[in-house]
Structure 1
């Protein structure tokens, strides 16, 4: 009888432990999803701000081109606008940019551009994040529960926001790297290989550095003693 109760208690404890573990993993998955969404929105907002600044820059250069065209037409010769006239064109454009940012609807337009980037464009940051394969079961369970709740509310199912295998291999990533990065990485690999292949040389370098540190310590101690001796001498 006692064995039966102990066995049942052990089973209940194991089930409770598994449920607690699953709940913790799902909570961590929700945190990862929230952090990913926050990161995606921050990067997308930076892109939106950069695009907005680019548009105003295009407006500035277009104004410069129009001013130069009118200048050529007026003076009947090809002569560009002097440099000292540029502040009179750039100043109002910068002023209008700040007015639009402070009192206009620039923030709303930036938010729309940010949402457009996140929802309709494909970039490295808004792709599904790669998670460890050990979290796949809990992720599938969480997505199934979420989609069931959305179905009850009449909402469309949520798309997958995580994968468990990277679609880019190390070789493909290496081929996509810039030539300078490949050269520098090769130099680092050669240096690491040389250190691994010659541990005695590495130990010798470490010993030399240790001796150098000892010499520096002795020199600093001698300087401190000498300064203390000078300070104690009567004047």
Structure 2
């Protein structure tokens, strides 16, 4: 009787371990999926912002070019056309970012960095460990004990 009870407890323990492992796996997968969805939404928001900014830059560019060409026609001074050059670069950059393939080029460059220049990504003093985090928490607690925050008057 006692032997069967022990065997049943071991089987239940193994089943519980498998269940917990499966639940943790599902939890991690859901968390990764949620983080990916949030990342995609943030990127979509940034693209939408850059497109909105492009409309404003475009309106400013067209107004400036119209003013520059009109001023050049009346005054015949080529200095009035000079702002068109830098403004053209700005509007071309924003158009490429908003509607071109600049985002794809940025992603490709990021992948290149991850694959071939990963040494650039290392953190100062390395990746924090659980013990280093606990040590910092202990130091902060000690600081609070030595220098308590005074209540507001």
Shorter-chain TM range is: 0.5 to 0.7
Taking structure 1 as the reference length, what is the TM-score of the superposition? 0.36
Aligned match of 1:141:
none
Task: Give the structure 1 partner of residue 67 of structure 2.
Answer: 68
Partner of 2:143: 196
CA distance in 2, matches of 1:172, 1:27: 30
Give the CA deviation at 1:34.
2.1
Corresponding residue for 1:160?
none
Aligned pairs for 1:1-235 (under 5 A) are: 2-77=1-76, 121=107, 168-171=122-125, 196=143, 199=146, 202=147, 206=150, 209=151
SS of equivalent to 1:121: helix
CA shift for structure 1 position 45 = 1.2
Query: How far apart are residue 56 of structure 1 and its match?
Result: 1.6
Alpha-carbon distance in structure 2 between the residues aligned to 1:39 and 1:70: 46
The structure-2 alpha-carbon separation of the partners of 1:197 and 1:23, relative to structure 1 and needing over 3 Å to count, comes to closer
Deviating beyond 6 angstroms after TM superposition, the runs of 4 or more aligned structure 1 residues are none
User: Offset at 1:117?
Assistant: 5.2
What secondary structure is seen at the aligned counterpart in 2 of 1:169? Answer: coil
Larger C-alpha radius of gyration, 1 or 2? 1
Shift of 1:53: 2.0
Cα displacement (A) at 1:198: 8.5
Deviation at 1:19, TM superposition (A): 1.3
Distance 1:44 1:10 in 2: 50
Aligned residues: CA RMSD: 4.1
Q: 1:24 to 1:117 in 2, by over 3 A?
A: farther
Stretches of structure 1 lacking an aligned partner (at least 5 in a row): 81-109, 125-166, 174-191, 214-235
For the residues of structure 1 that align with 2:53 and 2:64, how far apart are their CA atoms? 16
Q: TM-score, normalization: structure 2?
A: 0.52
Number of corresponding residues: 111
Q: Which has the higher helix share?
A: 2
Q: Which residue of 1 aligns with 2:83?
A: none
Measured in 1, the distance between the counterparts of 2:61 and 2:48 equals: 20
Return the offset for 1:122: 6.9
